Every structure is written in C-alpha cells, then in structure tokens.
C-alpha cells in the first residue's frame, strides 16, 4: 500500500491529532502518501444537548466507521476516550499512540484552582464524570452544561458565561493552549476518563495491510494502561451516561489501576484500586470493577 486515507472529524483538535498521526506514519513508512478525509459527525453537530441525552460519545465515530466500511477511508483517528468500550463488529484498534497527560485542566481567567472558587461560582462541563467529581469536592458550585470544541468552550468562558471550565490537559496542550491550564486536576483526588490523553487508529479488522502500517505506531505501555481502564469500564457497562473514571499506571511489569463511580446529582462516589500483571490488563480492569460493585457502585450506575 502506497496511499492511506484517514477519516477524521473536522474540529481543530481532531485535525491536529490526525495530522500528528499522519506525520508519524510517514516517518515510519517513507514514501507513504496520506490523504485526510474530514467528516462531520452527529456528535459535532448537535450542541444544544448533553452527549448522554443524544446517545453518547459513539456519535463521534459512526460516520467515520461508515466511511471505512464504504471504502472511502482506510482508517480513522480518534481520541480513545471517545471510543465505545466495545468496538463495532469488524473493527480493531490498529495502534494506540504514546499517551499524553491524562489529567483534567481547571481553566479560569480569575481563579487559580478549584479551591479558590467562591461559593456559587459557575463551572462549565457537560461531562457527567467531571460533574460528579466537582459535586464531591465542591457541592456549593453551580454546574452548567458546556458543549462545543475547545476554542468554542474557551470563548464562552472568556465572554463571562462561566467562572471556570474543566477541559482535558492533553487537548489544550496539543492546540498550543497549555498556558490556559491554571491547575491540573489529577490523581488520586481526581481521576480522568478511561483512556483520556491517548490517540487511537481504528481500522477494519480484516484489513491486514492497514493494520500492518499502523502497528509501527503502537505503544505497548500505553495500550496496557488504557486496556485496563477500558476493561474496568466495560465490566461496569459504563458509558457517558454514567460517571466512571479510571487511571492505570505502569510500574515495571506491574499495573496499578484506580477506579471511581460517582453521582452527578449529589457527589456520592465509590472508589477502588488494585495491582496486577502488565500483561493481563483485562483481568485487572475486571477486578477493580468487581471491587467497585461490591461497594455499591451498581446503585450509582443505575441512576437514570
């Protein structure tokens, strides 16, 4: 194969990620011609309702997967945190690139961190996971929905619609906006979405040529971590409908996984963590999921 067509969403962050993947592929395979296939998805178009209300993060993938099935593209680049825990039949993740900072970012023009916000301050995020952790740490805040791409969200913050917003550190830094991060919301006090900060390439499972090209970019340590996080979420049947957070870290041949299930309504949460072999991430994810369920996570997962 001398030409590779990559489907991508049209947002600035999605295009940055796809161009990054394209550059890495061309480094690994000199002479490879790459064509970007920008597409609009329902998740990008419907901005007046939360993702949970319109069907979840999978709405960012569907059009890209259809383009692959119609042979209009050979693969697609995604933020792995947006990829459903169970891929559609016939698809595979050909590569998971080295993970960027997985932490969330507290962004505010006036306040240095979450603790500095006054009672009743308006914080923007439409992530139920972020809302649940904000409720647990600062039940006095007013949480407001916030959708749109990174620049749209920052513009609404700067216009005074919010006192602070929460975004992913990775997205801001990839767009050259790292200076907007006032403080990092990080483990163990705050956990990210499963696979946050990781970029993945999705291909047809039977497309050996494309899978072989993509394999050059796969990062085994990142894959082990995110597979543990995704396995935990899968065992909980988690989605963007429920607030689930996870972070795995690699220590030699051992993986440590922290997991959280919370309530976006009242801040209740259960936490669990465990350690396991790095070559058995699925088992570790399932173990932490079972520990969360044993503490009562099902009652939080079944809300709504």
SS3 content of the chain, % helix, strand, coil (to 5): 40, 25, 40
* The one catalytic residue among 82, 101, 104, 163: 82
DSSP string, 152-220: HHHHHHHTTS-SEEEEEHHHHHHTT-GGG--EEE-TTTS---TTTT-EEEEEETT-HHHHHHHHTT--H
Burial (Cβ within 10 Å: 0-12, 13-18, ≥19) of residue 213? buried
Examine the residue annotation and report whether 218 is marked as an active-site residue of this protein. Answer: no
Q: In whole angstroms, give the CA distance from residue 228 to residue 255.
A: 8
Give CA angle at 223 (255, 78), nearest 5°.
140
For residue 93, give the nearest of 7, 197, 203 by alpha carbon: 203
Torsion angles phi and psi, residue 155, rounded to 5: -65, -40
- In whole angstroms, give the CA distance from residue 218 to residue 231: 19
- In Å, what is the CA distance from 220 to each residue of 49, 118, 281? 37, 43, 11
> What is residue 64's three-state secondary structure?
helix
E strand or H helix at 168: strand 164-168
Instruction: Give the residue numbers annotated as catalytic, written as ranges.
Output: 82
């Amino acid at each position: 194969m001398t030409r590779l067509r990559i489907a991508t969403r049209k947002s600035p962050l999605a295009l940055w990620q796809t161009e990054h993947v394209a550059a890495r592929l061309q480094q690994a395979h000199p002479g490879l011609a790459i064509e970007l296939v920008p597409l609009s998805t329902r998740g990008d178009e419907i901005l007046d309702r939360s993702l949970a209300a319109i069907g979840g993060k999978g709405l960012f993938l569907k059009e890209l997967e259809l383009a692959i099935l119609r042979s209009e593209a050979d693969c697609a680049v995604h933020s792995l945190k947006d990829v459903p825990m169970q891929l559609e039949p016939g698809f595979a993740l050909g590569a998971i690139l080295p993970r960027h900072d997985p932490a969330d970012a507290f962004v505010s023009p006036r306040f240095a961190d979450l603790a500095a916000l006054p009672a009743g301050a308006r914080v923007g995020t439409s992530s139920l996971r972020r809302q649940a952790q904000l409720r647990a740490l600062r039940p006095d805040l007013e949480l407001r929905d916030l959708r749109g791409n990174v620049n749209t969200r920052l513009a609404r913050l700067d216009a005074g619609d919010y006192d602070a917003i929460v975004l992913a550190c990775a997205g801001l830094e990839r767009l050259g906006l790292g200076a907007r991060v006032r403080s990092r919301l990080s483990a163990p006090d705050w956990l990210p979405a499963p696979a946050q900060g990781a970029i993945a390439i999705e291909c047809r499972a039977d497309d050996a040529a494309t899978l072989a090209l993509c394999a050059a970019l796969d990062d085994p340590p990142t894959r082990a971590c995110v597979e543990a996080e995704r396995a935990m979420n899968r065992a909980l049947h988690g989605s963007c409908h429920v607030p689930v957070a996870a972070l795995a870290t690699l220590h030699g041949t051992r993986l440590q996984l922290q997991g959280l299930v919370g309530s976006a309504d009242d801040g209740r949460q259960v936490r669990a963590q465990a350690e396991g072999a790095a070559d058995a991430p699925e088992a570790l994810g399932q173990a932490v999921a079972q520990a969360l369920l044993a503490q009562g996570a099902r009652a939080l997962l079944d809300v709504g």
